[in-house]
Amino acid sequence: MPLVPMRQLLDEAAKGNYAVGAYNVNNMEQIQAIMQAAQETKSSVIIQASRGALKYSNFTYLKYLMIAAAEENPNIPTALHLDHGNSLATAKEAIALGFTSVMIDGSLKEDSKTPTTFEENVAVTRSVAEYAHPLGVTVEGELGTLGGIEDGVGSGKVLLTNPDQAVEFVEKTQVDALAVAIGTSHGAYKFKAEPKLALHIVKEINQRLPELHMVMHGSSSVPQELVDIVNKYGGRMPNAKGVPMSEIQSVIPYGVRKVNIDTDGRLAITGAIRKVFFETPEKFDPRDYLKPAREALARLVAQKMRDLGTAGGAEKIKALTLEDMKKFYRGKGWIK
Ligand code: G3H
Ligand code: 13P
Ligand code: ZN
């Protein structure tokens, strides 16, 4: 099965009221582990690569690894998505490589640091949608800035997504999916106090835009057992804290259809590699530590797939092509 448009996976998730995990990758072992988990649980899957991942894998390697993943797993509907694209140029580059979906993170300027105005965000996001949709490619935008609700920086409502703006943003940009800021942040240190998501924002957006697929970035749970393994074998990650799966599950009924996970995968891999190095320092064949790392990641992702409700969904999906999506966008009047 060729790579499928991400929009289809989100539409299917909406029909079945579940969420699809979007797992970040940089190399072959990560891709293999995620595909193995999808195969075991019969799940659809979104594999995503950041700009850093594309650079690390020299672009072409990632492209062919994903072609291999699709060829090896013809029964698994798999979308390939650009995570945190920062410009139209980057989106074009990813689409040329065969990505079936792109994120344009217009909440920040091209430097990925400076916040933009609402108008700037609309303009760059719309330019990406105007380029991607005629090619059948899915577009994810972002409104609001990720950050903890109680971390002092993100305590103001300004950083969380404003539902009024979300309605205007979606109308003006015609994005397929919208990343919303509801109190999560990237990485292993998300909360100082008890984790709390701004459920009311998701509920309000869902009420006003029931068809919209929302995306939750910063969705790693930072499981204590994985942190313990890292620390037990020489790591140093005190006070790491993530979003409990129960919090994630609480937003799924309100239109959160894509859940981004990178940090938990990094923890699983690092813990497994540290364990081998610590227990058997005489080993130096990369396969001796990359294999357990790949297995640890596959176990983690399979559990995520069950928890998010993605498991079992693959069999119900008849893959669409980018050509089908062009017809779909024409039908919506989004392209000519
Ligand atoms: O959102 C960020 C993702 O975790 C990707 O991280 O830019 O270090 O590849 P990265
Ligand atoms: P985590 O750091 O919580 O895994 O979030 C990843 C993410 O949002 C990638 O876009
Ligand atoms: Zn993100």
Centre of ligand 2 from the C-alpha of residue 189, in Å? 11
Centre of ligand 3 from the C-alpha of residue 86, in Å? 12
pLDDT for the residue numbered 156: 38
Residue 9 has pLDDT above 70, yes or no: yes
In a domain, 285, yes or no: no
* Residue type for position 254: Y
Active site (annotated) includes residue 83: yes
Cα angle 105, 205, 23 (rounded to 5 degrees) comes to: 45
Owning domain of residue 82 = 6-220+245-262+296-324
Cβ neighbors of 286 (< 8 A, separation 6 or more) are none
In a domain, 239, yes or no: no
Counted domains in the chain? 1
**Atom from ligand 1 closest to the CA of residue 218:** 1
Task: Tell me, using a 6 A CB cutoff, whether residue 29 lines ligand 2.
Answer: no
Q: Which helix (H) or strand (E) holds 84?
A: strand 78-85
- The number of the ligand nearest the C-alpha atom of 107 reads 3
In a domain, 154, yes or no: yes
Centre of ligand 3 from the C-alpha of residue 220, in Å? 10
What's the mean pLDDT when you consider all of the chain? 95
Rounded CA separation 179/278 (Å): 40
* Residue type for position 17: N
**Stated pTM of the model:** 0.96
Task: Tell me, using a 6 A CB cutoff, whether residue 186 lines ligand 1.
Answer: yes
Residue nearest to atom 8 of ligand 1 (CA): 52
Can you give the CATH number for the domain in which 39 is found? 3.20.20.70
Q: What are phi and psi of 76, to 5 degrees?
A: -105, 115
Catalytic choice (83, 262, 264, 307): 83
pLDDT-derived band at 191, boundaries 50, 70, 90: confident
Task: Tell me, using a 6 A CB cutoff, whether residue 53 lines ligand 1.
Answer: yes
In a domain, 157, yes or no: yes
pLDDT-derived band at 147, boundaries 50, 70, 90: low
In a domain, 229, yes or no: no
What is the CB-side half-sphere exposure of residue 277 using CA atoms within 13 A? 15
Q: What is the DSSP string of 307-321?
A: HHT-TT-GGG-----
Helix-strand-coil split of the chain, %, nearest 5: 50, 15, 35
Task: Tell me, using a 6 A CB cutoff, whether residue 55 lines ligand 1.
Answer: no
In a domain, 134, yes or no: yes
Task: Tell me, using a 6 A CB cutoff, whether residue 52 lines ligand 1.
Answer: yes
Centre of ligand 3 from the C-alpha of residue 331, in Å? 31
Task: Tell me, using a 6 A CB cutoff, whether residue 218 lines ligand 2.
Answer: yes
Rounded CA separation 210/90 (Å): 30
SS3 label, residue 169: helix
In angstroms, what CA-CA distances link 324 with 116, 130, 135, 310? 34, 17, 10, 23
pLDDT tens digit sequence for 24-46: 999 999 999 999 999 999 999 99
In a domain, 273, yes or no: no
In a domain, 249, yes or no: yes
Burial class for 309, CB neighbours closer than 10 Å (0-12, 13-18, 19+): middle
Residue 120 has pLDDT above 50, yes or no: yes
